[in-house]
Structure 1
Amino acid sequence: MKRKVFAVLLVAAQPFVALPAHAVPNIEHLTVKPSGGAPAEVEIAVSINRPTPLDLSCDAILQTGDGSKPQRLEYGLGDRRTKIIKYTYKTAGTYRVKVSGTGQHACAGTREARISVGTAAQSAKATEKTAAKPKCPRGWTLVADSFKGERYTCRADPPAQALKCGGGTKYFAKNGEIGCR
């Protein structure tokens, strides 16, 4: 009598696949510029940075700062990385525009910009609120030009003075490591 052997292949659905935190698309830029007088029509551009080679989708929420209902931004797999939204403010004033990740597939990060709209502000432009440079822990220094969005690199500081080595060994410092050899 012959035995029959069956193999079962289980396929995990997307919700069960865990991606590393660094693989989530990041909200990289928010720019707001007037494109008209009163009523104040503006262009809001929101850009994300998708990790390569992955082309992941994510969702964000855009708040215009005037109390209106937030707008949902969906970045699908085939979508462009920058979405441009035309929005009209009903009254002149200064508003805080904010975009942040939302939902199950939220984009990482938050960006804010201030915009002044109305007759006096027709030529004004809002620029992205620049985040303060991150601070590295004591004994570490921020690597020059490594700060981009929420990403940065810290490097260990060399000691104030070389180690005192004994037993015929010499002090060395190489690639962020120190010691006696």
Structure 2
Amino acid sequence: MNTQILLCGVGGQGILFATRILSEAAVRLGHRVIGSETHGMSQRGGSVTSHMKVGDYHGPLIRRGDADLLFCFEKNEIFANLTFLKSGGIGYVDAPNLDFIPDNIRALLDARQIELRCMDASSLALKLNAPLVLNLILIGFASNHEDFPLKRDLLQDVITDISPQRFRDLNLKGFEVGLEYKVDVEI
């Protein structure tokens, strides 16, 4: 598997933990994983990105137009990071719908055959009284798609193994909420 995944959002959304989950799952499948993170003013809600490459890659940074997958844990970060997706790439976005995407961006997405899949992970996390599990909800949502390269059983095992004991049940619940999400808004 040669897959490049970019995760983006703001500080405090668990982007680095999400990267760790996806990386560990790929390693358990026998793949090489390299990556890099940028933190901006992450402690104050600033932009955070994590580059993750699975397979035969040498440099850790994803070039614009090369990412297979994009996880966007804060919907407005899509505008700064959308250009990383390659033609035919897929983005998973924490948003109730994609109405916030302007028509000119939609035209670009169509021209490059980029698919965005959204779900309101942050609202679901708030219903659990656990806003920090939105990352796990979005990963669960992604793993429910047949074309996602890491399968849900493997991800569930990784979450069980690497979650701190005091958060394990809550993290697994967040992942399950994402798995159960049925409405799939795409453009």
Interval of TM-score (by shorter of Structure 1 and Structure 2) = under 0.3
User: Please, what TM-score do these two structures have when normalized by structure 1?
Assistant: 0.22
User: Please, what TM-score do these two structures have when normalized by structure 2?
Assistant: 0.22
> Which protein has greater RCO, CA pairs closer than 8 Å, 6+ apart?
2
Which has the larger Rg?
A: 1
Higher fraction of helix: 2
